[in-house]
């Protein structure tokens, strides 16, 4: 039976489901705190529900054995002029076939309630075959695949990773926080490194529309002080975007600190001008942001890299990052 989850406060059935699921947030940290991970998940689900998100549960024999939580993506909804939802959590218990069935039913009911024109985007762990199969049966399209790489910064030495970070004239790149007005010029230099479908809902947009959408997306980062720009003289040659979260500093995710006991800094995009690839731009950008993470007491640095960006992945691995997982982004465009 499908039911709406209206509140998460003191919900024993929800806690039982979360405790039984084996996929934990930041599970790569091996912190051994399943109860803390459950609180972290419950808090995120509660905030999504309280902010108007959809939460569908599957109940069987007085147990909650499935959950689908979706949130409205305001930026995407504005750009596409129709409602766009992101599936934040898709969980189910049981054998793989049972999980796929329950997940499919929950997603279908969420889509029905949202309306036929609504667009849905799901980011699914590469190991969640049941979730991937369920979405594909509902005509979701793969729009992007990425790897998650993590580095423990407890032994990181400041300014590491900036070797060869100079221009062709031997001068160092200038790296600083980007202003919103600089985004358009930087995007003109680096747009070909933003994969089609990176955001999910931007899949199959025309080049002109994609440029507008990606520009607005990056200006959101710049408005919050979360976009670094590298320059060779007056020319913008590289960008690095970091997740917007936390009040202590703009470039850290503090949502993990209260429940899991550590903070995470997340790099969401690294892009360089075509002729500057391999010329030290990425080491300089990544080195600067890791220095800032370290100075602000962040324990882990996390990089999300498209699987097609093998040079970026290789550089991260040389700098001590380890691949800890993969993510598939799948999209249902709805009816225009």
Mean per-residue pLDDT of the chain:
86
Last residue of one domain, picked from the residues 113, 139, 165? 139
Place of tokens 């991970």: 37
Specify whether 92 is located in the same domain as 211: no
Q: Is residue 41 part of a domain?
A: yes
Last residue of one domain, picked from the residues 139, 169, 200? 139
Q: Is residue 251 part of a domain?
A: yes
- What pLDDT digit, counting tens, does each position of 142-166 carry? 999 999 999 999 988 887 444 445 5
Position 10 scores a pLDDT of 65
Position 15 scores a pLDDT of 84
User: Would you say the pTM of this structure is higher than 0.85?
Assistant: yes
* DSSP-assigned beta bridge partners for residue 219: none
Specify whether 221 is located in the same domain as 313: yes
Specify whether 219 is located in the same domain as 106: no
Specify whether 154 is located in the same domain as 126: no
Q: Looking at the 3D structure of the chain, how many domains does it have?
A: 2
Q: Is residue 260 part of a domain?
A: yes
Q: DSSP string covering 106-159, please?
A: HHHHHHHHH-TT-EEEEEEETT-HHHHHHHHHTT-EEEEEEEEEEEE-TTPPTT
Q: Is residue 308 part of a domain?
A: yes
Q: Comparing 102 with 13, which gets the higher pLDDT?
A: 102
Specify whether 251 is located in the same domain as 109: no
Q: Are 82 and 117 in contact (CB under 8 A)?
A: yes
- Other residues' Cβ atoms within 10 Å of the Cβ of residue 142: 15
Give the domain extent around 162.
149-326
- What pLDDT digit, counting tens, does each position of 69-84 carry? 999 999 899 888 899 9
Specify whether 197 is located in the same domain as 265: yes
Specify whether 225 is located in the same domain as 92: no
Specify whether 184 is located in the same domain as 279: yes
Q: Is residue 276 part of a domain?
A: yes
Last residue of one domain, picked from the residues 139, 158, 189? 139
Specify whether 95 is located in the same domain as 222: no
Q: Report the C-alpha gap between 292 and 98 in whole angstroms.
A: 45
Q: Is residue 283 part of a domain?
A: yes
Specify whether 159 is located in the same domain as 69: no
Specify whether 135 is located in the same domain as 114: yes
Q: Is residue 65 part of a domain?
A: yes
- What pLDDT digit, counting tens, does each position of 269-298 carry? 999 998 898 889 999 999 999 999 998 888
CATH code: domain of residue 228: 3.40.630.30
Q: Is residue 331 part of a domain?
A: no
Specify whether 121 is located in the same domain as 55: yes
């Amino acid at each position: 039976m499908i039911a709406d989850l209206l509140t998460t406060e003191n919900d024993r059935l929800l806690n039982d489901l979360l405790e039984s699921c084996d996929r934990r947030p930041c599970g790569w940290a091996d912190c051994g705190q399943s109860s803390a991970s459950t609180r972290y998940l419950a808090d995120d689900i509660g905030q999504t529900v309280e902010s108007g998100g959809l939460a569908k549960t599957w109940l069987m024999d007085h147990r909650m054995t499935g959950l689908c939580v979706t949130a409205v993506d305001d930026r995407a909804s504005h750009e596409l002029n129709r409602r766009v939802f992101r599936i934040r959590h898709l969980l189910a218990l049981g054998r793989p076939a049972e999980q796929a069935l329950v997940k499919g039913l929950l997603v279908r009911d969420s889509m029905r309630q949202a309306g036929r024109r609504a667009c849905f985007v799901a980011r699914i762990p590469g190991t969640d075959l049941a979730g991937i199969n369920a979405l594909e049966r509902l005509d979701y399209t793969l729009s992007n695949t990425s790897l998650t790489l993590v580095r423990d910064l407890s032994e990181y030495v400041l300014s590491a990773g900036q070797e060869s970070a100079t221009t062709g004239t031997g001068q160092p790149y200038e790296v600083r926080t980007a202003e919103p007005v600089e985004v358009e010029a930087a995007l003109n230099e680096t747009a070909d490194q933003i994969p089609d479908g990176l955001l999910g809902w931007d899949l199959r947009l025309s080049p002109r529309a994609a440029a507008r959408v990606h520009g607005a997306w990056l200006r959101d980062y710049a408005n919050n002080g979360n976009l670094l720009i590298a320059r060779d003289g007056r020319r913008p040659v590289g960008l690095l975007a970091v997740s917007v979260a936390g009040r202590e500093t703009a470039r850290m995710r503090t949502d993990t600190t209260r429940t899991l006991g550590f903070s995470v800094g997340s790099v969401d995009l690294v892009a360089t001008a075509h002729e500057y690839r391999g010329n030290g731009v990425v080491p300089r950008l990544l080195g600067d942001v890791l220095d800032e993470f370290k100075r602000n007491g962040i324990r882990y640095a996390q990089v999300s890299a498209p699987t097609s960006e093998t040079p970026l992945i290789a550089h991260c691995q040389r700098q001590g990052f380890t691949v800890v997982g993969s993510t598939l982004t799948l999209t249902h465009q709805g009816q225009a």
